[in-house]
Chain A
Amino acid sequence: MQKVIVGNHAVSWGVKLARTEVIPAYPITPQTQIVEELSEMCASGELPARFIKVESEHSAMASAVGASAAGARAFTATSSQGLALMHEMLHWAAAARHPIVMADVNRALGPGWNIWTDQTDSLSQRDTGWLQLYCENNQEVLDTTIIAFRLAEALDLPVMLVLDAFYLSHTSEPVDIPDQALVDSFLPKREAHYKLDINEPHAFNALVKPDDYMEMRWHMHDAQRRALELYPQIESEWLALTGRYYGMIEPYRTDDAETVLITTGTVTSTARYVIDERRSRGEKVGLVKIKMFRPFPVEAMRAALKGIPRIAVIDRNISPGNGGIFAQELRSALYGSDSDAAPQFNGYIVGLGGRNVTPDTINGIIDHVQSGETVDRPDIWVGVKA
C-alpha cells in the first residue's frame, strides 16, 4: 500500500507494524506527531498496545525500561531537550540490555530555544551503549523502524533511529507500507531472553563489584560490534521481502572518485543532486552516506575510502573545542589504514540549528576541498557571519 505521509508518521506506521506492546510517551516538538498518531492507533484499537502518558521524558525511558524488563516490546520517541533529560536512563536501558527502540527527531539543544534540525542531541548520546541509525527519507524511516526491533532484540541492546527535524519529520513523501503479514514474518513476537518472571525470580542490576563490572561492559561492547555482522544479514532479509536495502554505509558514485563527501541524513539527498550535476560535467566526485553511527562501521569506511585522495566530512553538529563529530570518528577510523597515501581530510560544520544546507553550500565545500587550500584547523565553519 502506498501512502503519502510525513516522516513522523512513517515512524508511527513502523511501530504499529512491529506490533509494539508498550509506548510511554511525552510530547516535544518536532517529535510529537509520532506519538500523537500512535495514541490514535491505540485509542482506536488498531494497535493493541498500552500507551502510557508519562510526565517527562525521563519517565518515558524509565517506563520503557520497566516494560522491556518484563518482556514487552517497547518504543518511545523524543528530541533534543527530551533526549538530554533521558540521558541517565539511556545508559540504564543499554547496560541492563533492554531492546527498546526509540526515534529521535534531531533538534538543536537550547539555549537559545531552537526547534530546528541539528544532530548534536543524538550524537551527545554516543557513549550510552545505544545503536544509532540515521535516515535519509521517509521510506527509510519506516523500514528502519521495523529493522531496528529485529536488531535490538537479537542483540539485547536498544536502538535509536534518527531523522532530521522538519526536512523529514514534517515533510510528506510517498511511502510503501508493507503488509502486516510480511512484517510478521520478518519480525515475530518478542521472545525475551530473560525477563522479570515470578516463576523464576532473579534480581536485576544489583550492586556489581569491580570483579564483574568490566565483564558486563565487555559483553555490551561485544554485542555492539556484533551488529556490524548482523545488520547486513537482517537487511538482506528485508531486501528479499521488500526489494529495499540501505546498508550501514552507502557509497554513491565513488568509483574513480578523487573527492568524496561524507554525509548523513537529509544532507545526503542534497549532496546526491550536486554530485550528479558535477559528474555530468566530468568531475570525479562522489559521496559516502553514513547510516550507522554506533557501532561505527570502521572496516566498511576504510574499504569505501581506500585510495580516495580528498575527503570532505559534512557535520551538522558540533563538539565545542574539537569540531564535527562524524569528522572526529572518521579521522580516527582511517588513521593508519593507508599510511602510504593519507588523504587530504577536511571537516566542515554546516546547518547548525536548522540553517539551510543548499546545493550552493555543498558546491562551496567541494570547491574548497578541491582547491587544496591547507587548513590549520580540524573544522571549517561554512557561512558563519563575521
Chain B
Amino acid sequence: MSQTIIKDRIPENELLMGGHLACPGCGGALAMRLVLKELGPKTIVVLPACCWSIIAGPYPQSSLKVPLYHTAFETGAAVASGIRAALDIQGQHDTNVIVWAGDGGTFDIGLQALSGAAERNEDFIYCCYDNEAYMNTGIQRSSATPWGAWTTTTPSKHPQATDKKDILAIMAAHRIPYAATASVSYPVDLVDKVKKAMSIRGTRFLHILAPCPPGWKFEDERAIDMGRMAVQSRVFPLVEVEHGTDWRFTMDPEHVPVQDYIRAQGRFRHLTDEQIGHISDAVDYRYEHLRDLAERSQAKV
C-alpha cells in the first residue's frame, strides 16, 4: 500500500477535532477519525461508557462535529435502536446511526443488547474499537483480553487464563448482513469496509483493533506498528463476512512471526518462549479455520 493510495482514498474532511483527550498514540482516537471521515456529517454517534467517554471531552465541549449521545455502559445497541426508530418515523432514512463502543461495552456488558439488536437486524453500524481490556478504568481484563496478557486484574503471576472471545463469529452467527474486522494500521481497508457497510441496510458490525500504548505497554509512537504486526502475525486477521456465511480475507500481508508481535509489548513480558509457542499454535489454528471458511465461501460462488 503506497502513500499515494492513502492520500487519494481517505477523505480529507475532519469530523474529529484537535484538542480531544486521548492518550498519545491512541488507536481508538485514530479509529474514530477514519470512520467519521468516510461516514461524513450525516451521522449520529451513540457512545456507551468507554475511553471515548473521556476523549470526546467534558460538558459543554465536544471533540466531534456530529451529534453525540453518551449513554450507559450496556445500552449502545438499544439506544441506537431507539434513535433509528425515531429517525425512520421522521423520514430521515439517510442519516447514519453508529454505536461507538469499547471491548467491555461490546464483548461483556453490552453483549445482550447487541445480540438483541442484531437479531432484530436493526439498521445501524456498530463499531467496537477493541483495546483488549478496560483501559478507561485503568487496565482491567475483559473477555477481549488475549490469553497470557497482564492486566491489573490478571497480574503476571496469574495472567489472562482464557482465550479472547471470538466476537466476529458471534456476530456472524446472528446472520447479520455485514461484519468485518479492521485495523487503524490499514486505513484504506478500514474506510473501504465503512463504505461497504454504508451501502447495506440492517445491522453492520465492525471490529476495529485499537492498539493502546499505556495498556499494552509499548512506546507511544509505535501504535501503527503494533496494529500492523497484529495483522501480519495473523493474531488479528482482516476479514469480512456477509450474512454470516460468506467469509473473505480482505488483506493478507507479508507474514511476521507471532513472537515479534508479543515481544514488542510489556503486557506479555512474563511469557516464556514455550508459552508464546502455544499462542502461535492457537493463532495458526484459528487462521486455518478462517481460511477454510473463506475457501468454502469461494467455492460456493
Contact = CB atoms under 8 A, between A and B. Distances in A.
Contact of A59 (B68, B70, B75): B75
A67 B95 contact: no
A207 B53 CA distance: 7
Interface residues of B, number: 46
A88 B109 CA distance: 14
A70 B68 contact: no
A42 to B, nearest CB: 11
A64 B44 CA distance: 16
Interface stretch (B80-88, B143-151, B290-298): B80-88
B44 A198 contact: yes
Contact of B62 (A24, A64, A206): A206
Nearest to B119: A55
Interface string B74-101: 1101111111111111100001000000
B140 interface: no
Contacts of B82: 22, 24, 52, 62-70, 72, 74
B82 to A, nearest CB: 3
B64 A204 contact: no
B46 interface: yes
Interface string B251-280: 000000000000000000000000000000
A240 interface: no
B71 interface: yes
B67 A208 contact: no
Interface string A16-53: 00000110100000000000000000000000111011
Contacts of A49: 89
A60 B42 CA distance: 26
Interface centre among A59, A206, A212 (most CB of B within 10 A): A206
Contacts of B115: 55
B218 interface: no
A53 B119 CA distance: 10
A201 interface: yes
B44 A196 contact: yes
Chain B CB count within 10 A is highest, among A56, A89, A198, for: A198
A197 B56 CA distance: 17
B138 interface: no
B57 interface: yes
B9 to A, nearest CB: 24
A65 B71 contact: yes
B58 interface: yes
Nearest to B62: A203
Contact of B116 (A54, A89, A207, A208): A54
Contacts of B54: 207
B245 interface: no
A69 B113 contact: no
Interface of A: 21-22, 24, 48-50, 52-56, 58-60, 62-72, 74, 88-89, 92, 196-198, 200-209, 212
Interface of B: 41-44, 46, 53-54, 56-62, 64-72, 74-75, 77-90, 95, 112-113, 115-116, 119-120
* 8 A-B pairs closest in CB distance: A66-B82, A55-B116, A70-B86, A62-B78, A72-B86, A203-B62, A63-B82, A59-B78
